[in-house]
């Protein structure tokens, strides 16, 4: 048995998973050296960056990736495109229903995590679920790349890490804005590694890359991320913008555009 066939994909997936905990350390430093009002302002500014990253993730990474996989299939027709659109819509609806269900379940312990409201807390959980599935797809890609050679596997791992760093900063910001404490956000980010482990295991023991299943998962993730943007990110920053002073407009807009630009450039060139 070739040990490297199992070792390299797991190590690479673990390395990608570590990106999820990187934002913990700068946030911990900022909390230690700032008052509560300063940290609240920081979370709001980080939310602008997170929204930019997520919007760019949807339109410049996920949708083009779905299109690329779809075109690689032998039988690509109008029915396939409609099927992809239906799955995206299905992901949006599932996240909507999940949000409502979580809101009902969590209606009693409203302030357990120090949250600002049930809707924000449920969005945090939904974001974790979406990232578990996202990590699953990344792990499948890494495992498949290693099956074509160690060099290909390492290149794929590096590209995913470069892409994940701004995305994970956005995810961490969404969790904090959802009302979770710093330590709880760290634990939830570590929880998303379940998707990576599952993806490696399935990738190793499957005979070929599950193209159709990956297409289905990516389409559902896109719908879920789109719901998070529409239901939480955009309403939050627009609501705060209506109450903020004019001098904060430049910094808020700049962070949104920065998040969009960074994720967009990485998606295009990597």
Question: In angstroms, rounded to a whole number, what is the distance separating the alpha carbons of residues 227 and 117?
Answer: 18
Distance CA 170, CA 232 (A): 13
- Domains of the chain: total: 1
* pLDDT at residue number 258: 92
Q: What confidence tier does 112 reach under pLDDT thresholds 50, 70, 90?
A: very low
Mention every residue, 6+ apart, whose C-beta is less than 8 A from residue 97.
Answer: none
* Burial of residue 183, with CB atoms counted within 10 A of its CB: 0-12 exposed, 13-18 middle, 19 or more buried: exposed
241 alpha carbon, distance to own chain's centre:
24
Q: How far is CA 141 from CA 23, 94, 184, 194, in A?
A: 24, 25, 29, 16
Nearest-angstrom CA–CA distance, 68 and 44:
35
What does the pLDDT look like over 182-237, one tens digit per residue?
A: 899 999 999 998 888 888 888 777 645 555 577 888 898 999 999 989 887 888 78
Q: Which two tokens stand for residue 218?
A: 């990516």
What's the pLDDT score for residue 199? 85
The domain in which residue 239 lies consists of 3-269
* Confidence tier at 38 by pLDDT (50, 70, 90): low
Question: What helix, strand, coil percent values describe the chain, rounded to 5?
Answer: 85, 0, 15
For 64-82, the pLDDT digits (tens) are 888 888 887 665 666 678 8
User: What phi, psi does 206 have (nearest 5°)?
Assistant: -100, 150
Share of the chain above pLDDT 70, in %: 83
N- to C-terminal Cα separation, the chain: 33
Dihedral, 133, 135, 140, 146 alpha carbons, nearest 10? 180
Return the half-sphere exposure (C-beta side, CA atoms, 13 A cut-off) of residue 162: 14
Q: Which of 29, 26, 40 is nearest to 165 (CA)?
A: 26
- The pLDDT tens digits of the residues spanning 127-171 come to 899 999 889 888 888 888 887 788 888 988 998 898 888 888 888
- Alpha helices, H only, 33-117: 36-57, 63-72, 78-105
pLDDT for the residue numbered 244: 57
**Cα 263 to Cα 54: distance, rounded to the nearest angstrom:** 8
């Amino acid at each position: 048995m070739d040990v490297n066939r199992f070792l390299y994909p797991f190590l690479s997936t673990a390395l990608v998973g570590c990106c999820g905990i990187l934002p913990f350390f700068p946030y911990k430093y900022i909390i230690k050296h700032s008052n509560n009002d300063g940290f609240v302002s920081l979370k709001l500014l980080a939310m602008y960056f997170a929204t930019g990253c997520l919007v760019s993730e949807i339109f410049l990474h996920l949708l083009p990736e779905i299109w690329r996989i779809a075109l690689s299939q032998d039988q690509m027709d109008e029915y396939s495109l409609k099927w992809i659109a239906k799955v995206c819509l299905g992901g949006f609806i599932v996240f909507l229903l999940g949000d409502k269900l979580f809101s009902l379940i969590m209606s009693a312990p409203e302030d357990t995590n120090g949250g600002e409201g049930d809707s924000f807390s449920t969005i945090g959980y939904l974001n974790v679920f979406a990232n578990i599935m996202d990590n699953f797809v990344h792990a499948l890609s890494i495992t498949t790349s290693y099956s074509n050679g160690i060099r290909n596997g390492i290149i794929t791992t590096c590209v995913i890490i470069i892409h994940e760093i701004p995305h994970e900063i956005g995810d961490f910001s969404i969790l904090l804005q959802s009302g979770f404490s710093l330590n709880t956000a760290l634990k939830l980010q570590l929880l998303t590694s379940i998707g990576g482990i599952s993806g490696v295991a399935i990738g190793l023991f499957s005979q070929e890359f599950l193209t159709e299943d990956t297409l289905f998962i990516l389409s559902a993730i896109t719908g879920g991320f789109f719901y998070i943007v529409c239901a939480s990110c955009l309403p939050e920053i627009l609501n705060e913008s209506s109450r903020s002073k004019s001098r904060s407009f430049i910094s808020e807009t700049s962070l949104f555009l920065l998040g969009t630009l960074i994720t967009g450039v990485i998606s295009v060139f990597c």
